[in-house]
Amino acid sequence: MSLVYVNGEFVDSEKASISVFDHGYLYGDGIFEGIRAYDGVIFKLDEHLKRLYSMAKALLIEMPITMDEMKEKVIEAVKINRLKDAYIRLVVSRGKGDLGLDPYKCPKPTVVIIADKITLYPETMYKNGLKIITSTYRRNSIQALDPQIKSLNYLNNILAKIEAVKAGYPEALLLNQEGYVAECTGDNIFIISNGILFTPPSAVGSLGGITRSTVIDIAKQLGIPFEEKFFSLFNVYTADECFLTGTAAEAIPVVEVDHRVIGDGVPGPITNKIIEEFRKVTSILGTKVY
C-alpha cells in the first residue's frame, strides 16, 4: 500500500479519487512533472518545481499552494512511503468544473503527488544500447502547443509509443512538421558527430528537459563541444553516437535507428562517459530527504 497526496491530504492510493467533472480528466487540461529520487535525494527538485509553476502561469492555472509548500509535500510523499529511490509524479489539473469547456468554471485546481518505485529500461539496454524507429506521427506544432508545457493531453506521444511497441521497439523518434528531428515519445535526443555533441533546440518542438540540461552541463565540464542545432534523420543515421535523456530513462545509448546502425553499433565512448558522469551527480544535485 502507498499513500498519495490529493488536494491537501495523504490518502491510500487504492482509495484516492478525483471528480469525474475534473477538467484534467475530461479535457487533459492540466500539467505534470516527473521527478526522480536517488538514495534519499530528490534530483533537482527546485528546477522541476520552477518549471511546474511556470507552466501553470502560462496556462493561467492559479496554484492553490505555494512553491515552498509544494516542496514540503513532495518531500513528505517520499518520506511517508519510506522510499529512497523513487519516481515522483506531480499532477496539477484545472480542477472540477462542468461538462462545458470553460476553464473559468473550475474554481480550484486539483493537485496530486504520487511517489512510487520506478521501473527502468533493463540494464542490458544501457550496456548494449537501444534500437528505435521513427514514428509516422509528427510532433505537435509549436504554434498549436508550446513544447515547454508538459500537458496532460499526451496523445501525440502515446500514439507514437503505440506504433513503436507494436513494431517491436521500445521507443520512437518524432519529427516536427518540417521534418526536423524533435524528440522521442518521452525523451530528448542527442547525437555526436566528429566529436561535437548536438541536440535539437526547443524551437524545433522539443522539451527543454532537466536531464537534458544536466547532460549539457556535464558535456561542458568534460570539454566536449556542444551545439543546439536543427538536424534531420540523415544526421542521425550518419552520427558517430546517439543517446536519449529523460527523467525515467536517465541517459541511455541508441545503437540503431530505422535499421541503420549508429557508429560501430555499440554505445560510443563519449556516450558512456556522459552516462558515467550523470550517475555520479544524481544523488548530489538535489534536495536531501533523509
Tens of pLDDT, residues 135-155: 999 999 998 989 899 999 999
Query: Considering the domain 3-116 in this protein, what is its CATH number?
Result: 3.30.470.10
| Portions of the chain given CATH number 3.20.10.10 | 123-281
- Mention every residue, 6+ apart, whose C-beta is less than 8 A from residue 287: 41, 42, 45, 46, 71, 75
Q: Return the active site residues.
A: 150
What does the alpha-carbon distance between residue 109 and residue 3 come to, in Å, rounded to a whole number?
20
**pLDDT tens figures, 171-200:** 999 999 999 999 999 999 999 999 999 999
62 contacts 92 by C-beta, under 8 angstroms: no
List pLDDT tens digits, range 78-116.
999 999 999 999 999 999 999 999 999 999 999 999 999
- Give the max Cα distance, the chain: 57
227-258 per-position pLDDT tens digit? 999 999 999 999 999 999 999 899 999 999 99
Q: Is the pLDDT of residue 1 over 80?
A: no
Q: Is the pLDDT of residue 282 over 90?
A: no
| CATH 3.30.470.10 residue ranges for the chain | 3-116
Kindly tell me if the per-residue pLDDT of 285 is higher than 90: no
Question: What percentage of the chain reaches a pLDDT higher than 70?
Answer: 100
User: Domain 123-281 sits in which CATH superfamily?
Assistant: D-amino Acid Aminotransferase, subunit A, domain 2 (3.20.10.10)
Q: How far is CA 128 from the centre of its chain?
A: 22
